[in-house]
Amino acid sequence: MSQPAISEQPPVDPPLSLRFRLFLYALLLACIGLPLAGWWWIRSRAAVMQEVQALGGEVTLFEGSTSVLFQSVKEIRLNSKEIDDELVSRITSYGNLEELRLSGGELSKDGVAELGSLTQLRMLSLTNMQIPDGLEDLANLTQLEDLTLDGPAIGDEELKTVGRLTNLRALYLHRTQITDAGLQHLSGLSKLQRLMIRDTGITDTGLAFLPTTLLLDYLDLSGTNVTDDGLAQWKLATAPRFLSLRRTQVTGRGFASIPFMQNDAVLDLGESPLDNAGLSEIGQLTNLEDLRLYKCPITDAGLENLKSLSSLQDLNLSQTKVTEESVPLLKSAWRLKSLSLQGLDFSEDAILEIERAQPNCKIRR
């Protein structure tokens, strides 16, 4: 008896393994998800830029950049009471940000910690802000070269953190609550070239805490309680090119014997009690190029003491007691580029006389 014929079936491929199927699904998700993630990343960064600009801020890109791709934002400036922890957190998405200027608003410890994550920052300015929990997390900003802290939220405790930023070249402390004792925390800032402690309660005692080895190019002590004695006792090794003693109690007494003042090029003594006797000392600082005597109680007789300042180019005599009797001196004693006579009773003829003798001088009146 013959066997029934067995029909041949076409070969069937084995089913795909579960692992391979999962691989395909993952590949598909990656193909879809990565572009979406990139789109979201770009959009979120663009939204931060738009938010800053909507609040009146400015955003500067690195040279050659045309978009917010590749962390191309170099600088952000914003003055707004809307500044808070959340906004700062969004700003930190620009990891290569080098300069940040914030004014107004309030930051808690979390917001300051976000700022501390911007380790590429080279310049930071925080003005008129409420910062109740201090600045300790800013110690992470080891590349910071330029720091501005303005307002009553800043005191001696914050200077402890500032003193750890040893790469600082410029430090501006304006209208803060720092005291003489706080300045001792800055003793390690050996790279400082520019220092401003304007409108603070600093006295001669605080000045003594600052290192004498500082190579300062710019020093602003305006609105402090520094006196002639404090300057004389501070044995600063190198003269700052710019020195402002505006609205202090200095009279100029003993200036000629202070070594670090001998090379000053710009000296601002506006609104100080400097008088004619003080001008006799100023007249011996022969490297002066710019002298600002706004609202000082000086007269024509005192001005004669400045004839030896052969390098003088800019002179501010606004709201002093100088009169037209000094016209001959103003015509010939110096080769001036700028002369301020605002608030003085100089006639048109007197002004014309000076202008003819000093054709390259711009007179402000």
Residue 251, pLDDT > 90, answer yes
Tokens 């917010």 correspond to 68
Q: How far apart are CA 44 and CA 191, in angstroms?
A: 38
Average confidence (pLDDT) over 45-71: 68
Burial of 32 (0-12, 13-18, 19+ CB in 10 A): exposed
Quick check: is 70 in a domain? Answer: yes
* pLDDT at residue 55 in the model: 81
Q: Confidence band (pLDDT; 50, 70, 90) for 179?
A: very high
* pLDDT at residue 37 in the model: 42
Give the number of domains in the chain: 1
* pLDDT at residue 11 in the model: 56
Average confidence (pLDDT) over 171-199: 96
* pLDDT at residue 38 in the model: 42
Residue 233, pLDDT > 80, answer yes
Average confidence (pLDDT) over 277-302: 96
Average confidence (pLDDT) over 356-362: 96
Q: Which domain holds residue 293?
A: 52-334
Quick check: is 197 in a domain? Answer: yes
Look up the CATH number of the domain holding residue 263.
3.80.10.10
Quick check: is 22 in a domain? Answer: no
- Which tokens belong to 148? 């501005």
Q: Confidence band (pLDDT; 50, 70, 90) for 22?
A: low
Quick check: is 362 in a domain? Answer: no
Q: Confidence band (pLDDT; 50, 70, 90) for 313?
A: very high
Quick check: is 32 in a domain? Answer: no
Quick check: is 229 in a domain? Answer: yes
Quick check: is 5 in a domain? Answer: no
Of the listed ranges 32-41, 64-73, 110-119, the one predicted with least confidence: 32-41
Quick check: is 358 in a domain? Answer: no
State what percent of residues in the chain have pLDDT above 70: 85
CA atoms within 13 A on the CB side of 334: 28
3-state DSSP percent of the chain in helix, strand and coil, to 5: 35, 15, 50
